[in-house]
Structure 1
Amino acid sequence: MVAFIARRDRCDHVRGEEADDPARAAVLARALERNCRGTDADLARLKRRHAGNPAVRSRLDGYDPRIE
């Protein structure tokens, strides 16, 4: 779960960035692909796995379930 949180936090950071030029847009597109792809499914899986743990669920519930 720690790896997911680190990756998803990077994803959310990149999602908040704006591109000033085509080169920066390309860098951001690659970062989005690397950090965001598959996180919707990973989040759903972690929520199912930790359904009985309120502390973990609370942390996971802070993430938007559909970003892809």
Structure 2
Amino acid sequence: MIVFAFALAASASALPPAVTRFIERRQGCDHWRGEYSEDPVRRRQIEAGAKKECTGSDRELDRLRKLYRRNPAVRDALKDFEKVEL
């Protein structure tokens, strides 16, 4: 995972800024989606974080894939992202 993040960061300069922003936001979304807590207060924090970072990311992913469908670097950077469906 760390190697992937490093490789992605190294190639991020070759990506359009909108794609880089999406990837950073989506990494935050994936972080929150991976969190779990029995504590009700922490669970609300997790839900709020996921809602903030994930809402609209499916739509943005679709938009970027369509907009940059002819850009191999962008297609490669976005290929492993799946729908969040929050």
Would you call these one fold, judging by a TM-score over 0.5?
yes
**What is the deviation of 1:11?**
0.2
1:37 to 31, 39, 55: 55
Q: Deviation string for 1:22-51 (max 9, x for gaps)?
A: 011000010011000000000000000110
Equivalenced residue count is 67
Cα separation, 2, equivalents of 1:52 and 1:25: 41
5+ residue gaps, structure 1, are: none
Cα separation, 2, equivalents of 1:38 and 1:12: 13
Quick one: percent identity of the two aligned structures? 39
The CA RMSD over aligned residues, in Å, is 0.8
5+ residue gaps, structure 2, are: 1-18
1:58 to 62, 73, 76: 76
Counterpart of 1:49, as a letter, is L
SS state of the match for residue 80, structure 2?
coil
- Counterpart for residue 43 of structure 2: 25
